[in-house]
Structure 1
């Protein structure tokens, strides 16, 4: 039996111990060394099995702590609050009868990461550091705490291939505020409303924020390699373009290096600014990481936007921009000074602590494995259904599911909501009507595998009922 077969045997063994009541919620499971010796397998096999069991919601593992059976799991109870399943993964009638009630509502919309996955001791330590920070009679630095900005710069050097000077890093209250800030800086520099090209389909909240800051938006279609640079070059004078090159939102294409270089060349020739929204680059499930646009930027045309919404918790409302040297830096920095500080200092201290101590890197290593399990579950389930296609699975925390029938995405979303599962329609991200395929965007970051199965079951049932 190969390693995968042995790991599957370990998974089945622990599941059985929970299901027959040998282990109950909160019980410690055997250590990887003890179980490996008992079963006569390599310890690495048991480690892989425990990672799968954690991803499925049976157990909870934390670095340096004893793995335990997850809360709410025990004899006769499968690892989900929302649906009971038999061994085939189907939802039973009892779960269906409660579908659509508040207690049973499953939120599978994109944008929600596995917030509770971070090690509790790391999370508490970060907020203790914030509480222990000395009080001072002073105003916050509008650009953000120097300690956090230094840690962000160091993290970018490790993960994204460029290490900016601290003075180029500016803290913002989320990605939408970052885009609003950049738009305001461009408007003040130009003395008029900036013309900003955006991906179509693309990030809705970002578009609204830029329009509120005075931008005139122009939609540019995307293809399998990201934004269409040829179309971008034909639409007339543009002051800036906003792109998600690492994992196009929402369709998921990855912009190859050749197109990235073409985009940078276009920006250099036209004097435009390229705003790189690097929203979930930490989660790459397939293929080699592609360098950030900012790492390829030799002519200071890229504004790099990142944040902590997908890695930790969107409720922290903390992101950042890395500004290129020159007039754009001066204009956006002036707008930040005028707006004042926007992220509470205790939040910034806690985030700096997570970065400095390596807690964030440990957390990312853990959730990458979990997200990979969920991504593989989506790919496996969809591959077994004729006419259904999964996109955006190379990275990130969501999948785009499209079908060959006539069903409109908004109609399917409404029917799924009546069955207790919330998702988003791809059409909701359009700039121009008809620019996006009919489909749904399903976020799997915060779902257990049984919850993910439930969402897919409901989708398949809706499409079957419609005859599509």
Structure 2
């Protein structure tokens, strides 16, 4: 810490600068010290108060700088502890820095805060790939949660009294109550606790719904799904005995006219908040059209509220369940993208219609699927506000990564970056003859794994040529490496 203060204190920040300029100067200095090896992974930074006094700036300036550096992945801050340089950055792992409104200038080399700046060199595609980097979608920033909050949740689970009883198939009442309360705060509707059922992930939830429909109808249910769309969910419903029909999506989500033209269906599964994988957001007008159609036809609408927690641009859009007046929406949410997919815990909120009893019966018949210790830990994270604090932190991180992708790919001829309004992945499409599978194979040879967009198709040829790049679990240096590998693969087309 002393070494850092000595370095950064060689020149004071120009008092004539506005606050944003001063913040940019602090950010640039820290980046430079990390890049040239003065600061290394794990080194503690001075407190915001100490550094502000050393530089002669307001403490809020340093707080804003630390928040930006944390969001970009250069440092890690924890409440009540010293900020430290993050692992994986430094002289051997340079991070790209996004530009644009509200984003600071590139890093400067050397100790001075004044004088000419030089841009951070873009990593070379010829650099050694190192370990295999998994940039496929589906993994959030698992390690970003505060360790003290994570440990406290599992201590609460260990402290729960032992009892001679079977677990409730519907789920732990405390967790269901916390889920209902959270939905009231974040999604605009607060269901009764007895309408909330715990499931073993989103795929198990969809399988449960398909089984319930089959039992309720006494025949094979016909379920409409987005094309392209969530492939694991499709497999789960097919294995539960459903017939699926793909319906095209456009820039506003599932096409309601195409859905109506597909013939009678018993249910439709949609991802309206952030269509998976293309990233479109269903506007309120189309949400009302979908619900009106479902009410007229008696069709169950299964709302997979995928990525609703991570909205990077634009105002939040209400959940379908919050707009439902006919009792046709079954809402699905979970903790895989907000916390850790290995927890394997999701939930459904039952509609008021007749399918509700069938889903409850199917849940009872299958029995509990999520260990009570896991449910106690999750309830603790919700009740104490730890999960909300975690979400606030990673939203900032994901927004910085989203900006890095947009900046790197902006203006690249023939490329289009999609799905960047929210969520944890980007879709990169291109014009020309190169197939997605060929680009994925070439990217893999550079040590980076991405997914082909056509893997999500229901009907062959329904998706454009493209790949899906997950960035939730990547640091900025890793994201740079993934983009380099992808651009190199596309250049070889």
Q: Give your verdict on TM over 0.5.
A: yes
Measure, in 2, the Cα distance between the counterparts of 1:337 and 1:23.
Answer: 56
Instruction: Using the TM superposition, give the Cα deviation of residue 12 of structure 1 relative to its aligned residue in structure 2, in angstroms.
Output: 1.9
Helix, strand or coil: the match of 1:434? coil
Deviation digits for residues 83-132 of structure 1, max 9, x if unmatched? xxx93121375x42xx3xxx611100000000000000000000000000
| Structure 2: runs of 5+ lacking an equivalent | 1-16, 96-118
2-structure distance, mates of 1:239, 1:19 = 57
For the structure 1 residues 123 and 330, does the alpha-carbon distance in structure 2 shift closer, same or farther, using more than 3 Å as the test? Answer: same
The residue number in structure 2 matching 1:291 is 318
SS of aligned partner of 2:429: strand
The equivalent position to 2:79 in structure 1, one of 50, 63, 70, is 63
1:88 aligned onto 2:121? yes
Residue in 1 aligned with 2:106? Answer: none
Pair 1:79–1:125, CA change in 2 (3 A): farther
Matching residue of 1:249 = 276
Taking structure 2 as the reference length, what is the TM-score of the superposition? 0.89
Rounded to whole Å, the distance in 1 between the matches of 2:60 and 2:434 is 46
Map of 1:270 onto structure 2: 297
Distance 2:309 2:302 in 1: 18
Cross-structure match for 2:267: 240
Tell me if the contact between 1:56 and 1:450 (Cα under 8 Å) persists in the aligned partners. Answer: no
What secondary structure sits across from 2:492 in the alignment? helix
User: Cα gap change, 1:385/1:2 in structure 2, threshold over 3 Å: closer, same or farther?
Assistant: farther
Offset from partner CA, 1:18-64 (integer Å, 9 cap, x none)? 34554333222011222223223333332232223223332211122
**2:14 corresponds to:** none
Residues 89 and 477 in structure 2, CA contact (< 8 A), matched pair in contact too: no
For 2:432 and 2:59, the matched residues in 1 are separated by 47
- 1:36 aligns to what? 52
Paired residue for 1:422? 449
Q: How does 1:148-187 map to 2 (within 5 A)?
A: 148-187=175-214
Q: Are 1:442 and 2:469 an aligned pair?
A: yes
RMSD: 1.5
Query: Aligned partners of 2:465, 2:165: CA distance in 1, in Å?
Result: 53
**Residue of structure 1 equivalent to 2:93:** 78
Tell me if 1:5 matches 2:26: no
1:226 matched to 2:242? The reply is no
Asked whether the 8 Å contact 1:56–1:79 carries over to 2, the reply is no
Pair 222,2 (structure 1): closer, same or farther in 2 beyond 3 Å:
farther
Number of residue pairs matched by the alignment:
454
Alignment of 1:75-224 (within 5 A): 76-78=91-93, 87-91=120-124, 93=126, 95-96=127-128, 99=129, 104-224=131-251
Offset from partner CA, 1:249-298 (integer Å, 9 cap, x none): 00000000000000000000000000000021000000000000000000
**How far apart are 1:72 and its partner, in Å?**
5.3
Structure 2 counterparts to residues 316-465 of structure 1, below 5 A: 316-465=343-492
Query: 2:170 and 2:472 mapped to 1: Cα distance?
Result: 30
Higher mean alpha-carbon deviation, 352-361 vs 442-451, is at 442-451
The secondary structure found in structure 1 opposite 2:302 is strand
- For residue 205 of structure 1, report the CA deviation from its aligned partner: 0.3
How has the CA–CA distance of structure 1 residues 442 and 182 changed in structure 2, closer, same or farther, with 3 Å as cutoff? Answer: same
Greater mean deviation of Cα atoms: 371-380 or 24-33:
24-33
The answer (yes or no) to whether the contact 2:224–2:269 under 8 Å persists in 1 is yes
3-state SS of the aligned residue for 2:52? helix
Q: Which residue of 1 aligns with 2:7?
A: none
Q: Which blocks of at least 5 consecutive residues in structure 1 are unaligned?
A: 81-85
- CA deviation digits over 1:407-460, x for unaligned, max 9? 111110111011100000111000001100100100000111111111111111
Q: CA deviation at 1:143?
A: 0.3
**Matching residue within 19, 27, 31 for 1:15:** 31
What is the 5 A alignment of 1:294-309? Answer: 294-309=321-336
Query: Is contact 1:143–1:170 with CA below 8 Å preserved after alignment?
Result: yes
String of CA shifts for 1:332-387, please: whole Å, max 9, x gaps.
Answer: 00000000000000000000000000000000000000000000001111113122
DSSP-derived class of the 1:104 partner: coil
CA contact (8 A) 1:175 1:206 kept: yes
Distance 1:386 1:34 in 2: 47
Q: 2-side partners of 1:252 and 1:45: how far apart?
A: 35
Q: Which stretch of the first structure deviates more once superposed, 36-45 or 406-415?
A: 36-45
Q: SS state of the match for residue 276, structure 2?
A: coil
Secondary structure in 1 matching 2:258: helix
The TM-score normalised by the length of structure 1 is 0.94
